[in-house]
Amino acid sequence: MKKPILIKFANRVREERKKLKLSQEEFAAKAGFHRTYIGMIERAERNITLTNIEKLAKAFKMPLPSLFKDF
């Protein structure tokens, strides 16, 4: 069973990516990840490190705490 915190984070990443109108592949390139890794994050299959969360925030051009809005 997927952990609720991973599901919330996955939904937040997907929401922000879609706001930028980027495919998973485009966003992965921008963030420095492989497209399958972004897919696994968005499906709550990966419990990613804080270092990688920071990379996502930078790719979104947002402060790190903003990724945890409404948690």
Query: What would the CATH number be for the domain defined by 4-60?
Result: 1.10.260.40
Per the CB < 8 A criterion, the answer to whether 21 and 12 are in contact is: no
What pLDDT is recorded for position 1? 84
Question: Sorting pLDDT into bands at 50, 70 and 90, what band is 40?
Answer: very high
Going from N- to C-terminal start, the domains of the chain cover 4-60
The token duo for 54 is 């920071």
| Secondary structure element (H or E) that encloses residue 64, with its range | none
What is the pTM for the complete model shown? 0.94
Band of residue 14 on the pLDDT scale cut at 50, 70, 90: very high
Give, to the nearest 10 degrees, the angle between helix 4-19 and helix 35-42. 120
What's the one-letter identity of residue 26?
E
Whether residue 46 is predicted with pLDDT greater than 90 in this model: the reply is yes
